[in-house]
Structure 1
Amino acid sequence: MQIAVWLAFAGAAQAALAQSAASGEAAAPGASTAAPTSGAPAASGAERALPAVNVSASAQSDSPLNLRTPVSSGALGSRSQLETPFSTTVVTGEDLADRQANKLGDVFAGDASVTDNSSAYSAWATYISIRGLPIDWQNGFRIDGNPFISYGITMPYENLERVELLKGLGGFMYGFAQPGGMVNYVTKKPADQPVTSVSVGYRMDSVFSQHADLSRRFGPDGMFGARINYTHEAGKTYNAGDINRNSLAVALDGQLTRDLSVYFNAIYQQSRSSGQTPAIYTGSYVGTSLPATISGGSNFLGGTDQHLNTNLQLYTGGVKYQITPNWSFNTSMSYSKSSRDRNESTLTLLNQAGDYTDNRWNGDEAHQDIYWQGMFEGKVKTGIFSHQLVFGAAYQHQTNDYSSVSHYFTLGDGNLFQPNPWRYYSGAGLETYRASEITQKSLFASDTVQLTDRLSLLAGVRYTNYDQETYNLDGSLASRYGQNGVLTPTTALMYKLDPYTTLYASYVEALEQGALVNTIYANGGALLNPLRSRQYEVGIKTERERWSATAALFRIERGASYANDQNVYVQDGNSIYQGVEAAGSVKLGRNWKVAGSMMLLDSWYAKGQAYNGNRVAGAPQFVASGRVTYDVPQLPGLQVGAAAKFTGSTKVRPAGDLETGGYMIVNVGANYLTRIGGHDVTLRAAIDNITNRRYWMYQYSDYIAPGDPRMVSVNAKIDF
């Protein structure tokens, strides 16, 4: 089946070329409807960047790091990557389409600072590590700057304009969150020019998808805009599971006057999947090396009785007002709701022979987030100094509902290298109760002082009143943590070596909410206190016409949490992460583009009663990625490429006696742009993990999973 589809794709490309040549039309590069990156020249003809699979590269610029792209920086306001004194990454929607990303790990595959711990179509869909730290599934994700609970949610990447990543602490910018980083999904907005496109895709084993994108402006002088994106995906996944997903995104805006604009955005997604690969728990494992690797495409570990059904809803509206040429005010409010119905196994690994105990969890979960923010941004001068000021306030109320009767039980024993004999089918609609509520009320302010033409100083602080409560099944209060006047400051010094290069040094603090201990631990259900983190960073960013580069030295100090010898999950001592990261891209001649990224990371536990000096679980010592793309001059519009990423051996648990081993994944891809019947047509093909490399992937402390197998994807898009 896969070979037939692949051959059909190749035949279609050849037929399209023949038709184009016969009609006398040049095999056009196919102008993109997306706007060029600000400040960078749009690519022409054969130079248009069409990156290989799993590579973060811009389709409109010779500089795929997108350093001039505006990014949302929370309390810092909106500024470009080049003006942000922290390490960031931007992946454009065109990149996502070219690389046919299937999970969050694919989105950032070109960034060596990001380690893939994710698994599509499962509860682990958004698990990644940034600089060795896990991202916070409760507070680490935003859509257009608005918080939502990401657990188990695979975003409809087709509906996104770009994905932004802030590496490290976001305490000043966003409030309480784990120090790994922040992911912000930016949805497509009404375009200045009409957009009408339809695409169809195929991913092995037999998942078929359809996507439609429609944008129009109307009213006097196009003062109103509307954009609708719809995605449907259904079929059989690579591990013999099933997926059925429908996603709808609506964006409306209105330029009511020259200075006043309003907007409303909505996202609705319903996903039903079954047969996902279980996670493997190593907390009871007695060996010092893992069993032989198995394929993530194996259906030995589970069956169609396991399922994950999710629903995501997000509604947001806002007003933007340009008070004066130098001052603006914007305010927004959002409501998000996400729910999960899970029936999934966790395999407790027992020995190197691959024996395990199958523990099944079945329950329903739901989360709600109400969020409001108002912010003034402006510029003033005091004597010889100019100031870029931000003042604002925010309110967030999060509720978490869990099954009042969660089913967690043992099915029986099995072996990784034999079919799992155990099945447990269940329905949905289990009764839930209000398990916890979290409220944050904050004020924030920042001032970027221009000391000289080249030197500027940033100082900011967030003041937060924080309240976290957990409840018993009968609704009575079980525990509470509250603290007023929590300060999370940040400061940075920035120096412009030239208009295209920024050298910076920054410091930031953050707090993360206390963990609600998982029931697998002896103190399951306990609420731990918030943890404080600190980050020191020195970096440089530069973007030129044909090349760009970034580099950073960093140190992060975070309170350590782990399960001790008595299987009690405790907060004890610190975990330290320090290292260097660098990335760059260069256009060689007219046809070649080479890019790379690397991270060297040292990490250890310190000042605790246990594990002092041990490497922190989940922090690989070395990661490197690279890619090369080639525009085929004999066939304008065709680009081929290859990408590779090496992830060094990673400690699985804090004791430091078990590790995954290093592995390298190689991906290849091709993109062809042409015109058929007067319409732009884009044909894409990709093969992930072309060598079908088997490896153990670190997911979370004490948890591993088999890595994804070889994956073939094809897609065809037509613009009307």
Structure 2
Amino acid sequence: MQKPLVAGRPFFTRGPRRTPSLLSAGLLVSVGMTLSTLSQSGWAQAAASDAGATLPAVSVSASKDAAVAQADTVSAGALGSRKQVDTPFSTHVVTSDEAQDLFATTANDLYKYDPAVSVTSDNAISENSMFTVRGMPIDTLNSVKIDGQTFPSWDADLSLEPFEQVELLKGLSGFMYGFGAPGGIVNYVLKRPTDTPYRSFTFGYKSAGVFTEALDLGGRFGNDNRFGYRLNLANEDGNTAEDNGHVRRQSASLAFDFRITPDLTFTADALYQKRKTNGTLFGLMFGSGLGIPDASTVTHALTQPQNYYQTEFASFGTGLDYRLSDNWHASVKYRFAKENRTNSDSLLYVSDNAGNYSNTLYAAMTRYFYQNVDAMVEGKFSTGSIRHDVVMGASFETQTSEYSNSTGWNQGYFLGNGNLYGSTLLSNADVSIGEDLYRQQRTTQAALFASDTLQFTSRWSALAGVRYTQYREHVYDPTQAVTSQYSANPVSPTFALMFKTDPYSTLYASYVQSLQQGGAASNTDVNYPATFGPLRSKQYEIGFKSDHSKWGANLALFRVDQGYYYSNPAHVFVQDGTQRYTGIDASGWLAVTGEWRVLGGVMWLDTKAVGIDDPTIEGKRIYGAPRFTVTGRVEYNPAYLRPLTLAFGGKYVGNQAVDAANSQFVPAYTTFDLSGRYETKIAGKDVTFRAGINNIFNRRYWTTAWGYYVAPSATRTAVASATLQF
């Protein structure tokens, strides 16, 4: 029986359901050029290698003139650090320079031109910026990392200033990182001390009146420059373009290292951030049988003065890295992280096609405490003609969640009624933040892992990896009684076969298994607070990746089978059957001339629920997953004015199901962006000016997530910045 609504409001507790047409010519040309590489000099070098020679080292690094080119290396967890082109997985790395050219403030901005990425919410108007990868959400409590170690990031959009690059691993990550949703891993790599002095200051602006100041300092000191430092400070404050919108953010990070000997290095880092955004909206829930209106017709004044969210977190990490020999090195690292989260934002329940809604505000605190310890040994050796690149290690991780047991968290505060097509000022004097926290959940993971990349010839290689995990999860009620507990001891294997078509390209086939935390019912479900055990996922992928000086391409054909959890039409939260994702993820770039560069990508995705007992769900599309996504971007760097680079880009995202039964859909949308960069010298110092407009045609659209709610998009935004190196 469905739980009744109170005064037109859904009985609702917000919380993450755990693990809860522009086709660029560059894509077509770059993929078409794949076969032509067989006649290039690189092919001759590879053929010589089969006769006993060694492949030449290849290093292709990103530059400001190739702002969207992939960075050379990627951290792959238990695989260590590898060149992207040599890994049998889909990856996308964005450097800090590229992030500035994209005017990125969150990971949503970093991957706006990746066709596999679709936005589910934007922190300009929603709680925080989130996205799906190939239709699968990123798990904000398990799949966000700092230097490869898990970091709590529910509502916590990490400031980008402290990070050298951000790495996206698409798909399953069981062997590399342990438990996690199959959407992928987002790994933030901290900026580390520079060998030569580095100093820069950036001043930025975003409409309607947000100003940012950022300082970045690095260098070395002491005898033989044994000590290194990297300091980043950032401040952001001002009124946003959204109704009732205001943001205030401060972040600070310090990274330190000590070269104890030429072979032994000690590192330590600290990171702190506090961010508060006013004028936020959790989302809108449309009643059964209702259509979802055109987002452009809905008022922008949906938020209320009492709506805001605030996050504060701190992290400390330390480690030792020891080079045992030219071919072997060992490392150990530890990280502690804590997040305090305060939310006071609303869910709007739309009750009829006239757009009438009830506004329920949820106000509470939550806290998260994480600890990670990782030890790893990497080495290379040969057995006869076969070369081995091995990694062995162990890890231990704990996560503790504290939730509020207050009215503001469990039932919320009724603010009043309004209409989607007109502004209404609503408030409730009884609203207060619930601070009566209790330990709601604790999980531990202890793991052993090992892998071997076997190099049979200069072209053929194979990867075999395995991770054994002891997983323990306890869920508590406010009295600290255990309401559910789960334990699992999975063995997660990974296998891959790789073939070098030329020294700069890899054809691969891979298989990955992974385990993730199960789902949990919310108070919109009649079986709240039911929780479920871990889910197993499997991924099959065949791909090709190439990274040349003037063109690059990435192509992946994949299938992911994942256990399915959802709310059925009777509002019962269910964990049953399989959600299957099958698709093609392709992208490429091409330097057409010395002045013009084009980039593009396309994702086609077929999703369906299989093995479901409920006929209203069986065979339906998976919610929140577009069938088709296309991106394109053109960059122009005129020969007569090399300091100037102009760029125009766009993205098309297909329609998406809002719920598991596919009774509601949000329509497709297309957005466009325009930007420019100019590099010069002032008083002998390097200065870079940037300016742009995001969503230049002010397209208003809906995003959707978690199988029941939608959120409006951000408005058109003007951005500008100036960076001085001194």
In the superposition, the TM-score normalised over structure 1's length comes to 0.90
Output the CA distance in 1 between the equivalents of 2:707 and 2:61: 45
Match of 1:647 in 2: 653
- For 1:206, give the aligned amino acid: G
Amino acid at match of 2:338: K
Confirm or deny: 8 A CA contact 1:306 1:424 kept in the other structure. no
CA contact (8 A) 1:73 1:173 kept: yes
The answer for the alignment partner of 1:300 in structure 2 is: 301
CA separation in 1, counterparts of 2:152 and 2:507? 35
Name the structure 2 match of 1:178. 181
- The equivalent residue for 1:218 is 221
| Alignment of structure 1 residues 429-578 onto 2, 5 Å | 430-483=435-488, 485-578=489-582
Match of residue 392 from structure 1: 393
The 8 Å contact of residues 105 and 117 in structure 1, kept in 2 or not, is answered as no
- Partners of 2:221 and 2:449 lie apart in 1 by 38
Indicate the residue corresponding to 2:239 in structure 1. Answer: 236
Regions of 4+ moved over 6 Å: none
What is the alpha-carbon distance in structure 2 between the residues aligned to residue 331 and residue 390 of structure 1? 13
Query: How far apart in 2 are the matches of 1:521 and 1:359?
Result: 17
Q: Please state if 1:159 is matched with 2:162.
A: yes
How far apart, CA to CA, are the structure 2 residues paired with 1:562 and 1:285? 16
SS at match of 1:336: strand
Partner of 2:136: 133
Partner of residue 60, structure 1: none
* Residue matched to 1:326: 327
- In structure 2, runs of 5+ residues without a counterpart are 1-56
- Which SS does the other structure have where 2:696 is aligned? coil
Structure 1 residue matching 2:142: 3-state secondary structure: coil
Equivalent residues of 2:344, 2:364 under 8 A apart: yes
3-state SS of the aligned residue for 1:158?
coil
The CA distance in 2 between the partners of 1:42 and 1:458, in whole Å, is 27
Query: In structure 2, which of residues 226, 230, 246 is the aligned counterpart of residue 227 of structure 1?
Result: 230
CA contact (8 A) 1:291 1:353 kept: no
Deviations 1:420-454 (A, max 9, x none): 33213645571211111001111111111112221
1:712 aligns with 2:718: yes
Letter in 2 for 1:446: S
Aligned partner of residue 221 in structure 1, secondary structure: helix
Name the aligned partner's letter for residue 246 of structure 2. D
Matched, 1:692 2:681: no
Confirm or deny that 1:624 pairs with 2:610: no
Structure 2 distance, partners of 1:585, 1:518, is 44
Q: Deviations over 1:637-695 (max 9, x none)?
A: 11111000000111111111221111110000011110111111111101000011121
SS of equivalent to 1:615 = coil
Does the 8 A contact of 2:673 with 2:693 survive in 1?
yes
Which deviations, in whole Å up to 9, do the C-alpha atoms of 1:195-215 show, x marking residues without a partner? 111111110111111000011
State whether residues 281 and 347 of structure 2, in contact with CA within 8 Å, keep that contact through their aligned partners in structure 1: no
Whole-Å Cα distance in 1 between the matches of residues 623 and 61 of structure 2?
43
Q: Which residue of 2 aligns with 1:187?
A: 190
How many Å separate the matches in 1 of 2:580 and 2:312? 37
- The one-character-per-residue Cα deviations of 1:352-375 (angstroms, maximum 9, x if unpaired) are 322222122111000010110101
Write the distance in 1 (CA, Å) between the matches of 2:254 and 2:225. Answer: 18
5+ unaligned residues in a row in structure 1: which ranges? 1-36, 52-56, 58-63
CA contact (8 A) 1:122 1:276 kept: yes
Deviation string, structure 1 residues 489-520 (Cα, Å, up to 9, x no partner): 11000111111110100000001012232222
Match of 1:291 in 2: 293
CA distance in 1, matches of 2:580, 2:433: 42
Alignment of 1:85-96 (within 5 A): 85-96=88-99
Match of 1:609 in 2: 613
- Of 258, 279, 283, which residue of structure 1 is paired with 2:283? 279
Aligned 1:59-78 pairs, distance under 5 A:
64-66=69-71, 69-78=72-81
Distance 1:299 1:305 in 2: 16
Aligned counterpart in structure 2 of residue 49 of structure 1, from 47, 62, 65: 65
Q: 1:532 touches 1:558 (CA, 8 Å); kept in 2?
A: yes
The alpha-carbon distance between structure 1 residues 689 and 574, as it changes in their structure 2 partners (threshold 3 A), is same
* Aligned 8 A contact 1:133 1:179 in 2: yes
Alignment partner, residue 171 of structure 2: 168
Please report how far the alpha carbon of residue 90 of structure 1 lies from its aligned counterpart in structure 2 after TM superposition.
0.5
Pair 42,290 (structure 1): closer, same or farther in 2 beyond 3 Å: closer
8 A contact 1:295–1:707 mirrored in 2: no
**Residue 425 (structure 2) aligns with:** 421
* Aligned-pair Cα RMSD in Å: 1.7
Task: For residue 435 of structure 1, give the secondary structure of its aligned residue in structure 2.
Answer: strand
State the AA in 2 paired with 1:459.
Answer: A
- Residue 176 of structure 2 aligns to a residue whose secondary structure is helix
